[in-house]
Amino acid sequence: MLTSLSLMGVILATSVAAAVVALLVLSAISSRRDQRPRISDLPAGMEPAIFLFEEQALVDATPSALRLLGPGSGAEWDRLEAYVAQHFGADLTSLPALGQLDLDGGTDGRLHLRAENLSGMVRITVADPTAEGQGVIVDGLSHRAQEDELRQLRDIAAATPILVWRQRSDGRIDWANSAYLSLLARRRGVPLHELGWPLDPLLEVPETALDTPTRVVTPAPDGRSQSWFEVVSRPVHDGTVHYGTPVDAAVKAEASLKEFIQTLGKTFAHLTVGLAIFDRQRQLALFNPALLELTGLEPQFLIGRPTLFTVLDRLREMRMIPEPKDYRGWRQQMADLERAAASGFHQETWTLPTGQTYRVTGRPHPDGAVAFLFEDISAEVSLTRRFRAEIEMGQEIVDQMAEAIAVFSPAGVLLQANAAYTRLWGIDPGATLGTVTIRDSARHWQAMTQPNSLWAESRDFVLTLGPRSARTAKAVLKDGRALSCRLVPMSGGSTLVGFSEGAEAPDARRSLKVRRATLLAQVDETEDA
């Protein structure tokens, strides 16, 4: 009996131990199974994206499939078609007839797409076969960091105001940012969500854009308005990325500047004054045809943009500059001319050996430039000289007159007097500093003559505006000489005052005394009677 009980205990203990061992084995197996990577733990590039559609209506999709479509408007089928056209260069229109469609694509050709028609249901799988079965596990923090970085890059690309698009080696555009898509939609006149992939090229980019920025124009649908972009291209794997910066404002400004320069050129072409503008390096930047006519310089020489001193040297060789005593002094004179013109307004008169006279004016221009104006004033100088000669001759004629003459302006300023006037009144108006007026002259006349109201009347006559009549009067100098005065109005409101000495003044004074004595005697006789 005891033996039976002992045997049963041993069997029970053995069973319990076996059960424990089995539980431990199952627990280990289960733990190992839990440690295997799951699809939801794999990165988006390794997890297959599976879509299930019924008559183009999305029935179900894996999380990676939803992430594949990304945020956006429009039906899921349309967005998926855009993705397939963009990354695989094909569409799903032939799927109902084929029943199954397999495509390879992606930037590096590592993506595989399988579309299956299952009795009205369409299942589409997008996967990366090269990443399957590698057992890579990504922790949640790293995965979230990748998603945040991807979101930031998408936001930056969407907010970029310039056009950015990627063009594959076969010419297809497989990616473009929001600015490119918006402009393309406006050019086509369709809503943004109706754009189909692959996209049509918006700009015809030349090959030179790979090296230097190149301007490209895109016409508007109406054929009138245009948009200009400065495109820079950078090569990438299996294609090229293009960056287009809008430069409409710069193009308009350059066109306006060009038109303004053309207008100035046309204006300068009709000037009789020679114009030469030198930039800050003192190279000739602009000249007009009058400069060629005045200086005799060759057009080929000026087109070569010579420096200022080269032009002056050539003018000196052609005897178009006053010949100095020595070359060093001439160079110093030209250097002074350049500095004076650059710092402010400067003007010189060149009397040439040919008899011509040039007025050379230099003045500063913006950005350190300097402009020189060459004007032929030979006729003006000749006319001035002739006028001066005529004036001098007229003065000599007036000086030969015996009558003392003074001419006053309407304002009463002494304009001219002859030599007889200087001898009579003892004052030379030409040697007097300042302005001599009729008031000054009347006071001087009054101081040198006997009391007479003539001088106040003459002052009023000279200063009177309007019609006047000539008049004459008499005056007597303090030394007893008699003067015959005349006031004659002239053109422009001027007045001529003439003084002539009378030889009969002493006899007239004696006759006046005799007549006075006679009258007094007659009065006395009357009183006595």
**Each residue's pLDDT tens digit, 243-296:** 888 888 888 888 887 887 777 777 777 788 888 888 888 899 888 888 888 888
Answer yes or no: do 280 and 246 share one domain: no
Residue position matching structure tokens 């539980």: 23
Residue 361 has pLDDT above 90, yes or no: no
Task: List alpha helices for 89-226, DSSP H.
Answer: 95-98, 140-159, 178-188
Alpha carbon 52 to its chain centroid, in Å, reads 61
More confident residue, 504 or 63: 63
> pLDDT at position 510, please?
46
Which pLDDT band holds residue 463 (cuts at 50, 70, 90)? Answer: very high
Would you say residue 525 lies in a domain? Answer: no
122 and 164 fall within a common domain = no
Residue 197, in any domain of the structure: yes
- Determine, yes or no, domain membership for 19: no
Q: How far apart are CA 125 and CA 51, in angstroms?
A: 6
Tell me if 243 is assigned to some domain. yes
> CA angle 53-59-61, nearest 5°?
90
* Greatest mean pLDDT range, 81-90, 372-381, 405-414: 405-414
**396 assigned to some structural domain:** no
Share of the chain above pLDDT 70, in %: 78
**Residues 376 and 275 grouped into a single domain:** yes
Domain extent at residue 496: 401-508
Average pLDDT over every residue of 304-324: 84
Q: What is the CATH number of the domain that holds 296?
A: 3.30.450.20
Q: What is the C-alpha separation between 177 and 184, in angstroms, rounded?
A: 11
H or E segment to which residue 343 belongs:
helix 327-343
Q: Which amino acid is at 42?
A: L
The count of domains in the chain is 4
> Does one domain contain both 365 and 410?
no
Residue 363 and residue 290 in one domain: yes
Question: Tell me: the pLDDT tens digits for 31-51?
Answer: 333 333 333 333 444 467 889
d(CA 277, CA 255): 22
Going by pLDDT thresholds of 50, 70 and 90, the confidence category of residue 126 is: confident
**Same domain as 173, residue 111:** no
**Is 22 domain-assigned?**
no
Per the domain annotation, does 440 fall within a domain?
yes
AA letter at 501: E
pLDDT in tens, 379-394: 888 888 888 888 888 8
The closest alpha carbon to 500, from 433, 406, 414, 436, belongs to 406
Same domain for 440 and 363: no
pLDDT at 390: 86
Q: Note whether 124 and 87 are same-domain residues.
A: yes
pLDDT at residue 228 greater than cutoff 50: yes
pTM greater than 0.85 (yes/no): no
Specify if 416 maps to a domain: yes
325 plus 414 within the same structural domain: no
CA distance 415 to 405: 11
Domain end marker among 327, 347, 381: 381
The residue from 87, 111, 131 where one domain ends is: 131
pLDDT at site 458? 92
Over residues 193-203, the mean pLDDT reads 75
Identify the sign of the CA torsion 24, 25, 27, 32. positive
